């Protein structure tokens, strides 16, 4: 069952449900949108992404959420926080994917800021991280705009062993 979790000026964030698969897959399978990932997702990969997040909601009470445009009601991306292993450490990882048609409009920054505030205020997290390939300048810019700073570089075994930047912010 879909549940609204959070909202920002232009976006609504809600839990995924099984009927979101086609909209989610349209984003995750797009080669341009997913150019910094190991590969665009297959139908099975998108189904697994959806299933994993539904399990996270049950286990942790949070995960990656459907990013919905308030004006159109359309799913335009995916954003949220997951507990993940980053360079051998368990971290709360803030991530976002915005469909290519919505790039350059401040959507990722708005989503990342909303999720950061949710993590600190609603989940009581003390630290939040984000990771991205070294050459993903747009994601680095978003993360820097919301106050995160580069902490280290590592070879990411989950993403073709490419050089990856780890950003972090502490909740004072």
Query: Please, what's the b/e burial string for 101-135 (b: 16 or more CB within 10 A of its CB; e: otherwise)?
Result: ebeeeebbbbbbbbbbebbbeeeebeebbbbbbee
Query: Domain 4-125: which topology?
Result: Aminopeptidase (3.40.630)
pLDDT tens-digit profile of 124-161? 999 999 999 999 999 999 999 999 999 999 998 878 88
Domains of the chain, residue spans: 4-125
pTM above 0.85, yes or no: yes
Structure tokens at 119: 């993590």
pLDDT tens-digit profile of 1-13? 789 999 999 999 9
Structure tokens at 142: 């978003």
């Amino acid at each position: 069952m879909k549940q609204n979790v959070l909202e920002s000026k232009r976006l609504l964030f809600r839990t995924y449900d099984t009927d979101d698969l086609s909209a989610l897959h349209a984003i995750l399978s797009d080669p341009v949108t997913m150019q910094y990932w190991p590969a665009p997702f297959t139908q099975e990969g998108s189904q697994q992404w959806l299933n994993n997040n539904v399990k996270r909601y049950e286990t942790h009470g949070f995960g990656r959420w459907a990013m919905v445009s308030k004006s159109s009601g359309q799913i335009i991306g995916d954003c949220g926080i997951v507990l993940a292993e980053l360079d051998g450490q368990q971290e709360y990882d803030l991530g976002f994917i915005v469909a290519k048609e919505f790039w350059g409009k401040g959507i990722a920054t708005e989503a990342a800021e909303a999720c950061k505030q949710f993590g600190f205020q609603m989940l009581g997290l003390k630290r939040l991280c984000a990771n991205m390939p070294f050459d993903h300048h747009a994601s680095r810019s978003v993360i820097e705009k919301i106050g995160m700073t580069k902490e280290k570089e590592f070879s990411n075994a989950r993403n073709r062993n490419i050089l990856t930047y780890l950003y972090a912010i502490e909740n004072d």
